[in-house]
Chain A
Amino acid sequence: MSDDGARLYDELLAGRVSRAELLRRGAAVGLGAPTLAAILAACGGGDSAGSGSSAPGAVAEVGTAVTTPAPTGELDQLKWGLFYEPGPLDWIYDYNYEENTVVTNITESLMRLTPQLSIEPGLAESHSAPDDLTHVYTIRQGVKFHDGSPMTTADVVFSMKRHLDPNSYWAFAYFNVKSIEQTGAWEVTVRMKRPDVIFPALMATPAGGVGPQAYVTAKGKNYGTPTAGPVGTGPFRFTSWNQGANITLTRHDAYWDTAHAPKTKSVVFSFIPEESTMTTGLLSGEIDGAYHTPYSGLSQLRSSSVGTLYLGKSMLFSVIYISTTSGPLANINVRKALLKAIDRQALAKAVYGGAATPLPSTMTPLGQWSYAQSQAEAAFQKLPPPVVDLEGAKKLMQGVDTSGTIVIATRASFQRYINIASIVQDAGKKLGLNIQIKPINPNDYGDIFFSDSARKGIDMFISENYADVPEPLETLYVTVTPQPPNALTYNYDDYNNPSVTSDLQKAVAESDPAKRASLIIAAQSVLADQPATLPLVSPAVPLFLNKRATGAPASFCYLYYPWARDVGAA
């Protein structure tokens, strides 16, 4: 047994780690399944791996898992649950959970998100930026598409240019791009209108996806639909789409990344919109696993002997966006006071079943930092902690005019948002603020993000959002600085703090990670004092795997990493 193993063993005996954690951490430090099994056997007890973590202190470990134990053999078929049927599997339209969960195994990108939530080369062998306005990608050679044709540099240029059409849901990634050209046999050069460090990070998402020009062009608007299935370079090829029921992928035997050759012959994704049915399917073994399992079933899954529930490292954040420039919320002190009065610890437990960590006064969870991590963590610790400070809050409210009502929008019939809204309402009451909950028809809730008219009469609204890439600027920049009229934005209260704007504008152009981190951290501390939003918690990624299957990464990478290649028999 290695030193790591021995330490884990001691900790397990001392009751400091649960069995689930042991498996997670064991896998993370590279312990094989036999070693872990030996440790567990030595400790005795046959209960499920997930049930041990009931100590109050265990909450701190939520959201840390990045891997699951490595598989010991091959799996014939993996049955996976999706909580809705994906739209077309054409990467330019894949901008939501389940589309990406599937397509990431088919269509790969120039860069790739890793289970540790960092960015590494994918279909590009390397990326370099000779200056702030130029990005050079060296394309990997010897890569084959599922239809047998070789991937060429022309395919890469064609694929990137598809996003220059505003119809692409990822067109925003190319907002600052001036040109995309082939500049060598295996080289593509992207020139920018202005420096933008978010662009190269987004090449790890479908914004950097690559498909075969001939096939995509031939299929036209049907590409990616069941009649003209997607073709990519990934570890799995599209096989069939039984509409309304399931999608089947089969192993791509000529997969270029031979060190990560898939260990499962086929993956069947079933669409299960009803939360209780998803939980039942996992408990009955009809499906082997699912990401983002319903919160309503977490306790059942946690205590089940059928498999293990992991709560993985994430880039998710639950936040209240402020969408007014008048009324009490326009006063920065009211925002600060309200945040101090909201019990984020209780919210993480009650609303997310403990599968979330409270955020200090920042909307950037540590999972979004792929660089300068120790610097980021130190700064994170210094932020006002997520504890209730009613005295401090009341002090801030002195002399504030609390007349008038504040309207918070929630998605009707969406239990988590309703619960959050009442926690916020309750916090407001303690400060003399009259907060009214306005339920919005679930179908129309998304409109609040899109249209000014939908936000009329709404002072704040709840959102569970995520960063696509581990670059804090991706979500922070567009939320707290003024954006040009035709750009993507989450800045609904015209927030413009000169020091934040200046720091973040410099950061977006700063290619040196350490310097960029300093600028972001400086802005983050100003934002903690002058809040633009009310950050609540960072939900972890709930992943359930039954005893047949293991190896799936536990982190948020599953949207943009070909995760199914790592899954095999337990």
Chain B
Amino acid sequence: MKTRVVVTGMGVVSPIGNGLEAFEKSLREGHSGIRFQPELEKLQFGCQVAGVSELSEETINSYFSEEQQIGMNSHILFACIAAMDAWKDAGLEILPENSEKVHWDCGAIVGTGVGGIDTIGERLVPMTNEGRVRRLGSTIIERVMVSGASAKVGGLLGLGGQVSSNSCACSTGTEAIAEAAWRIEQGLCNRMLAGGSEGVSLYTWAGFDAMRVLNRNHNQSPEKASRPMSASAAGFVPGSGAGVLMIESLESAQARGARIYAELIGKAVNCGGQRMGGSMTAPNPTGVQRCIQEALTNANIQGSQVDAINGHLTATFADPYEIQNWQQGLQVTPETFPRINATKSLIGHALGAAGGLESVACVLQIYKKFIHGSLNCSDLHEKIKDYQHSVIQETQDFPDLRVLAKASFGFGDVNSCLIFKAWESK
């Protein structure tokens, strides 16, 4: 009998609030976390707005000792806070670092898109080129290695399962959750922290700006800049933060009386091969549809049973194609298309963290039975007008929300899809 997998804890650091309460409030009330960034204007970026997850020194010091903060840059800091919050939210105690206890039954897959690029750009490269290698100190490696975030999480919490950082661009956070669930299903562990983290660095955003895929049209009106599904969408807005779920076997969750937010009933990960219309930067539609269908098969449900979709929806040219892919993948009609929203309209595109942050949003919505409004799409794209009734622009209660599909699509033509279901204890 297949092991069932549930969500028992969550943690979030985001441009619209840190912690579940603040995050949920902003989702419900439609607060944009996009702000003008003066440094981007100074450096002549085209897009000068971004979603920055802010943490006060006071907050950071409340989580970590000075020693624990050594070797942290922004993406590691965000991941650790989100992971520790998810751990505590799951009802588990954080033991002191000098405790000898290792949680052999728990691991972490916390991925990232570009990881410690801030450390690379601000310290490693300039100091090395100046011949000042000796002055780099001991913490460069742990800050720039791709597994930096998961490694720090593993040490803070004493994890003894697989501790790893996956990386598949914008699909990272969502894929992490799928990978964690598979590990639990195989009986290799009881629980896993899973999600993604992305730091605040103009070196991350520069490459996207150079590709002209960021919105340059709303530097004076940042809260209107992230416009998934709109006719005036002109590229995505970069974001940052971390979203981490505690994924657990149902047996383990019930044995310890854990609160269950939702069940993860299906998942799929694939690639479109950069063929059949796909490329490094654009999805193969057949690949996307197959991913959605495989997730449905894994969940043992029909597409018509999906009540809501939290889309990838970045506000690039790909949005209308994504809607069509969902329609084909779920095998529904425009008339029967489920409700759909885009969390990126509030938080921007947090890249490797997007799937983690947005999955937290999904689980909150399914647990609390609401669907948050998508900002900035009152001028719906021409090709999405047939789905107008499904596009949720104002937050609404949704008492019948039982099944929610989440997908992410990344550079490399990589796809991941999760199917969450409301927890119904029998």
Chain A bound to chain B: no
Interfacial residues, chain A to chain B (CB-CB below 8 A) = none
